[in-house]
Amino acid sequence: MRLGVLDVGSNTVHLLVVDAHPGARPLPAHSHKADLRLAELLEKDAGERGNGDGPGLASDKNGGSTGVGTGGAISEAGIDRLIDVIRDALQAAEDKGCEDVLPFATSAVREAANADAVLARVHQATGVALSVLSGPEEARLTFLAARRWFGWSAGKLLLLDIGGGSLEIAYGMDETPDVAASLPLGAGRLTAGWLPGDPPDPAAVRALRRHVRAEIARIVGDFARHSAPDHIVGTSKTFKQLARIAGAARSAEGVYAQRSLSRAALEEWVPRLAAMTHADRAQLPGVSADRAPQLLAGALVAEGAMDLFGVAELEICPWALREGVILRRLDRLPAG
């Protein structure tokens, strides 16, 4: 069957069309996306800067945190733009022959002060009932995708995923992680709230570094109770771009080319990125102009997570949340 996954994320609205069958690898057939930067709208009154405390955290039943915090409202213009983009994505799904579309939203929508109004407006205007994933749900679905990609031989997995609005972390031996956590440390959110300059003020970079590490340190103990992972993986555009500038294979070399990122390389790149303008970063290999402003914040999160979790090197996983949503849907289809 041909499925569409409509991901209303903190940076983009992304429709991924795949040919999918139970027991087979989902094959990408089409990709349609538009930049919205919803995460950047949530910093207007979030109160996340300057005090080093960050937003409050709620516990996940598996021992992690949900990353619940305060957020600003998405403007009327932002909602209108979201509706237009979703309509375009639905048309693309129809044009490509999708039998079904699986729509979901992540941190930017779930943390918006007017989330209910946003969801109601979208449903009324487009007929799409967005399923709002919690942070731990994001972590669990992304973990499922990584487990299926690397297989059982990878042993105990530790997953790190940096999105536009949040950082997801998960650990486990099976397809469902033993512990999953989500923190409000997305690259888009942090860039808007902490690094407005171009290039950013060094004092702001230091303040963000302290904030990131303090937030991650809160949940390290939840993972330290378990045995050391056998394999550590990173997903998301941020990790892919950081690995690329550190010398990993180009995307043109295909998804099966092994790509990794070392903490040593990251520690060398962070001060270099901090000194660069957005335009300078956009000239780096694999870095697009629209993602360049967020790269430093993403690098600070990646460096902090790898350091605090004792990760010397991780492998980049091509699959992430969208693939996890597809796999979960296929798992629920009746046998035969």
pLDDT for position 85: 95
Q: Where are the beta strands (DSSP E) in 223-327?
A: 231-235, 260-262, 313-316
Residues 217-234 have pLDDT tens digits of: 999 999 999 999 999 999
| 336 within a domain of the structure (yes/no) | no
pLDDT for position 64: 38
Number of domains in the chain: 1
**Dihedral of alpha carbons 199, 202, 206, 207, sign:** negative
Q: Which residues pair with 179 in a beta bridge?
A: 171
Average pLDDT for 100-108: 94
Q: What is the pTM of this model?
A: 0.89
- Mean pLDDT over all residues of the chain? 90
**How far is Cα 249 from Cα 139, in angstroms, rounded to an integer?**
26
First to last CA, the chain: 14
Peptide linkage before 199 cis (omega within 30 of 0) = yes
Is the separation of the CB atoms in 155 and 333 below 8 Å? no
H or E element, residue 224: helix 202-224
Domain that holds residue 47: 2-331
Q: Which residue has the higher pLDDT, 141 or 52?
A: 141
Q: Give the pLDDT band (50/70/90) at residue 71.
A: low
Is the separation of the CB atoms in 18 and 333 below 8 Å? no
Report the candidate in 124, 229, 231, 138 with the shortest Cα–Cα distance to residue 183.
138
**How far is Cα 35 from Cα 11, in angstroms, rounded to an integer?**
6
Contacts 24+ apart (CB under 8 A), 214-218: 214/52, 214/53, 214/54, 215/54, 215/183, 215/184, 215/185, 216/167, 216/183, 216/185, 216/301, 216/304, 216/305, 216/308, 217/308, 218/57, 218/65
Is the separation of the CB atoms in 263 and 310 below 8 Å? no
Q: Give the pLDDT band (50/70/90) at residue 181.
A: very high
Average pLDDT for 288-317: 97
| 251 within a domain of the structure (yes/no) | yes
Average pLDDT for 105-109: 92
User: What's 288's domain CATH number?
Assistant: 3.30.420.150
| 151 within a domain of the structure (yes/no) | yes
| 64 within a domain of the structure (yes/no) | yes
pLDDT for position 41: 61
- Calculate ∠ Cα 239-282-202, nearest 5°: 80
